[in-house]
Chain A
Amino acid sequence: MKIITVAGTPCAGKTSVIAHLVRLFKSEGVEAAVAKFDALATGDDAFYRKELGIPAIKGLSDYVCPDHYYVSNLEEVYAWGKELKTDLLFIETAGLCFRCAPHIEGVPAITVIDNLGGVDAPEKMGPALSLADVIVVTKSDMVSQAEKEVFRYKVRLVNSTAAIVQFNGLTGTGAVMLKRLFEAWQDVAGISEAALRYSMPASICSYCTGEMRIGKPYQSGNVKKIQLRPESERT
């Protein structure tokens, strides 16, 4: 089973990209399944089942940190894919913070970003973009060639090695190019000892356990404070 993590900003086109790929693979008899991680709600799993007729599940983190929820459930999702005997397991993540990346060492990592977020978007995206193996840029149909080129340059500043694939999520143009990359990817034999590519933020404080009030008396555990003055001025 090949596993592919697919990260990206909300509504960047992750589902559109996966759907076009799945259609191509299906026509060759390659089977796919998708696990969607999200924070509060998603209709993606229903979309995959209904529109593509493939197995799909969702995991909603709800009151738990979405990043921690994601990593805590990877073994379960892997086992689910194994049981299905699927050839490809896509793990689509949304709702993770920009401080985090779902990408795993040894597992092909795709990050989807659209051309519409502005030229400063790549810089702000953090490890999800800088640690991806493949960066899929969507919605090029909405911008000029110059804007595309500037955007690509900005993506390159953040990740100098990833393959950058232009993808039209509406028509599927770009899907065959992305698919060519899959040939080089190996089956993943197990996920249990694999490591994340980027650590997750520490979060063991009172707010993690449901505290909602503001103020020092309610804060305990791992609390980090803003620096209002430069180091030199502090006594």
Chain B
Amino acid sequence: MCTPQRIGPPTEGFRETVPAMATLTILSGTGKSGEPEAISRLAINAGECLAVVGPTGSGKSELLSDIEQLACGDTLSGRKILLDGKVPENHWSSGGIVAQLSQKTGFIMDGTVEDFIRLHGRSKGLERPDLVEEVLHMTNSLCGEPVLPESRLQVLSGGQSRALMIADIACISDAPLVLIDEIENAGIDKLQALAALTASSKLIVLSTHDPILTLMARKRVVMKQGAMSTLRETTAEEGHCLERLRAVDAVLFRSRDLLRNGQSLTDGVL
């Protein structure tokens, strides 16, 4: 007859701890045609953001996937990823270390926003009563249409879902490293979003085509033919350019709002 072994009720309260992380180092490999990369070593610290730029097909996603897989010379590029200067210990899993903001714009879970936030909080040992308020405060600063605690996940718009996902990563997720693959068309305030994530002292790697996000990141690596070709920091002059670009962006934002609300555009608005 059957004698159940190890199986039993779940051990309530079991929780994984995620190590804090101060630096991410990328040791170079080769580009698409096998040539060594121009940038041989690239390091970023917690609280910093690295933009990965380059034309479509230049290898942005591949670099992000190397980081996600904690590459140790065994991926297409031959790159190596070090955390705090060392090869990560459990290098078969980056689950607790890397959080991802993908192009996904909806949840598969059902239920209210409040229950969802509480569930995620509980899985991380965060039971404080004002957690829902905190996450929604940030969510609603990223997105025009307010998300309420009693809203159902399944009826949120793409922009609302995205905003909630970002606020959730900033407030609840304990992964020290965040990977973002092209968020520009998400219907949210992308600048606020990046600011919110950086403020949570996470280390962010962001692939983007957006000049504002690129300059906001302060450090950027330029991809060419699959290789890291140039590393730049936002210069003082680019800092001024960033201000002007933001003004342009604000005009675009306002115009879009006016037009889609049925109004007509006037010189005064611009």
Contact = CB atoms under 8 A, between A and B. Distances in A.
Contact of B91 (A118, A144, A158, A177): A177
A134 B103 CA distance: 28
Interface stretch (A34-42, A55-63, A146-154): A146-154
B6 interface: yes
B108 interface: yes
A163 B92 contact: yes
Interface stretch (A7-15, A198-206, A207-215): A198-206
Q: Which of A126, A147, A160 has the most CB of B within 10 A?
A: A147
Contacts of A87: none
A4 B124 CA distance: 33
A143 interface: yes
Contact of A180 (B10, B92, B96, B107): B92
A130 B6 CA distance: 8
Contacts of A123: 10
Contacts of A201: 2
Secondary structure call for the A interface? helix
B123 A153 contact: yes
Interface string A173-202: 110111111000000000000000111111
Interface string B16-30: 100000000000000
A88 interface: no
Secondary structure call for the B interface? loop
A74 interface: no
A169 B109 CA distance: 21
Given A116-B108, A127-B7, A145-B101, A164 B2 contact: no
A146 B92 contact: no
A150 to B, nearest CB: 5
A163 B119 contact: no
B220 to A, nearest CB: 24
Contacts of B2: 199-202
Q: Which 6 A-B pairs have the closest CB atoms?
A: A153-B123, A157-B10, A199-B2, A177-B92, A146-B168, A146-B120
24 contacts: A123-B10, A131-B6, A140-B100, A141-B104, A143-B109, A144-B161, A144-B165, A144-B168, A145-B100, A146-B165, A146-B173, A149-B175, A152-B95, A157-B14, A164-B93, A171-B65, A173-B69, A177-B69, A177-B92, A177-B93, A177-B94, A180-B74, A180-B91, A199-B2
Given A158-B10, A198-B4, 15 more contacts: A127-B5, A131-B5, A142-B108, A143-B107, A143-B109, A146-B165, A146-B172, A149-B173, A157-B14, A160-B11, A166-B93, A177-B69, A180-B74, A198-B5, A200-B2
Interface of B: 1-7, 10-12, 14-16, 65, 68-72, 74-75, 90-96, 99-102, 104, 107-109, 116, 119-120, 123-124, 161, 165, 168-169, 172-173, 175
